[in-house]
Amino acid sequence: MQNWINAFSWLNVRFLLMGLWVTIYISVISVILSFIFGSILGIIRYSKIKYVSQVVGFVIDIIRNIPLLLIIFFTYFGLPNFGLRPETIPAAIIAMTVFESSMIAEIVRSGIQSVSVGQMEGARSTGMSFVQALWHVVLPQAYKNMVPAIISQFVSLIKDTSLATIIVVPEMMQHAQVIYGQNANYILPMFAALAVLYFVVCFTLSIIGNVIGKHLS
Amino acid sequence: MINIFAKFSSQLLVGLGWTVLSSIIALFFSLIIGTIFAIMEVLPSKVMRVIGHAYVEIMRNIPLLVITMFFYLVIPMYVVKINGFTAGTIGLTLYTSAFIAETIRSGIQSVSNGQMEGARSTGMTYWQAMRYIILPQAFKIVIPPLGNQFVNLVKNSSVLAFVAGFDLMYQANSIASTTFDTINSYLVVGVLYLIVTLPISYYMRHLEKKLG
């Protein structure tokens, strides 16, 4: 019991919460960037532009099929060979964005495809260009369908930031490791804290996603 | 890249072997556990539904790394000594079982109610109807998403690198730190992962199109 009280001293709790803040910071920035890049890539893949869409599609498939951990290593240890030397937090954001953009691109593509073909044809027949029809008619409907999938992707992004601990990003998992590194008796309390904190953040978001999903449909 | 592969091929293939082995073991057990919890989630008993749902939500909303490190660090301290590979595979199994449970539950729920009612009216018990009528149809629907779960499993097995599981990712780090050729070491390993995951992904996409 004394171990638990010592493990959760104010200093340690504050340190853990600072880690949680970095976790959320990395996740939010990455999800915003991924949303932008993912949308562009998804639309390109959907648009069937000769060669371009195929190449984009293939790159997306490759990124979706390798472990995020590999992308994190590649960003942090590989980029310096090309003269780029990102700090740990930017490296984590780059890696997460590369990975999540591909995930979101697939969501966007299948979201657009789920809007009936008649919508596009109807819009085009009123004289709209392809881009206008996409922007004003198809995309608003597609994004409405995508909200739950994107939120669940956001939840997995938050969980995945824990992997960034391997390049010593000062996020929650890393901070927990620093705390239990001082005293082995803190290991169990720290894992309990990690489980609870991640669960609360992710589960709350999942519920919000479900509510929005039900509300929209 | 070719040089690295030529020089370290045996080490890399051993890593690939551990990665695939861990993924297959985890798939096998997470299918069993996932099916059990999926059935619990659709049972008439409210208590069972709550337990099934709680398990799925807890496992889905905690990072795989936290679950894996828990088995690597905490279980040996208080319960039983296990090595990194075992700890990693247990973590993978529990984490994946929650996603598989969700997939199978939605498969079961997509089988029409009439199937269960029809089976019951022929005199089958609830369990017989579940076993012989509902589950076979549900599994057919969920083959593509289960295949995608297996791809995720292979990718996620890279957490074994955190717990000295000797998998592909672990070997990549070891090769990168001995040769200092980080780019090519990670590229080779990336290609090896793709050799396993990409064909499954493409086949599942083909199946999805065929079924839907």
**Mean pLDDT over residues B181-203, rounded?**
93
How far off is chain A from B189, nearest CA to CA, in Å? 8
Domain CATH code at residue A16: 1.10.3720.10
* pLDDT(B212) > 80: no
The pLDDT value recorded for residue A207 is: 92
What residue type is assigned to position A39 of the chain? S
pLDDT at A20: 95
Report the pLDDT value the prediction gives residue A14, as an integer from 0 to 100.
94
B9-26 pLDDT per residue, tens: 889 999 999 999 999 999
User: What is the percentage of chain A residues whose pLDDT exceeds 90?
Assistant: 65
Residues of chain A where predicted confidence (pLDDT) is lower than 50: none
Domain with B77 in it:
2-211
Residues of the domain holding A128: 2-216
Lowest mean pLDDT among B27-31, B156-160, B179-183, B189-193: B179-183
Q: Is the pLDDT assigned to residue B78 strictly greater than 80?
A: yes
**What pLDDT score was predicted for residue A50?**
85
ipTM of the complex: 0.92
pTM: 0.92
Residues of A in contact with B78 (CB under 8 A): 188
Residue A122 C-alpha, separation from nearest chain B C-alpha, in angstroms: 25
pLDDT computed for residue B58 by the predictor? 95
Rounded mean pLDDT, B134-144: 89
Average pLDDT for chain B: 92
Query: Given B78, B186, B201, which is nearest A65 (Cβ)?
Result: B201
Contacts of B201 in chain A (CB under 8 A): 61, 64-65
Cα–Cα distance, A185 to A188 (Å, whole number): 7
- Look at B88 and B212; give whichever has higher pLDDT: B88
Retrieve residue B38's tokens: 């999926």
Give me the DSSP letters along chain A.
-HHHHHHT-HHHHHHHHHHHHHHHHHHHHHHHHHHHHHHHHHHHHHHT-TTHHHHHHHHHHHHHTS-HHHHHHIIIIIGGGGT----HHHHHHHHHHHHHHHHHHHHHHHHHHHS-HHHHHHHHHTT--HHHHIIIIIHHHHHHHHHHHHHHHHHHHHHHGGGGGGGT--SHHHHHHHHHHH-GGGHHHHHHHHHHHHHHHHHHHHHHHHHHHHHH-
Count of structural domains within chain A: 1
Cβ partners under 8 Å of residue A5, min gap 6: none
Contact (CB<8Å) A73/B172: yes
- Domain of B110, CATH number, reads 1.10.3720.10
pLDDT class of B89 with cuts at 50, 70, 90: very high
Looking at the 3D structure of chain B, how many domains does it have? Answer: 1
Distance CA B126, CA B201 (A): 35
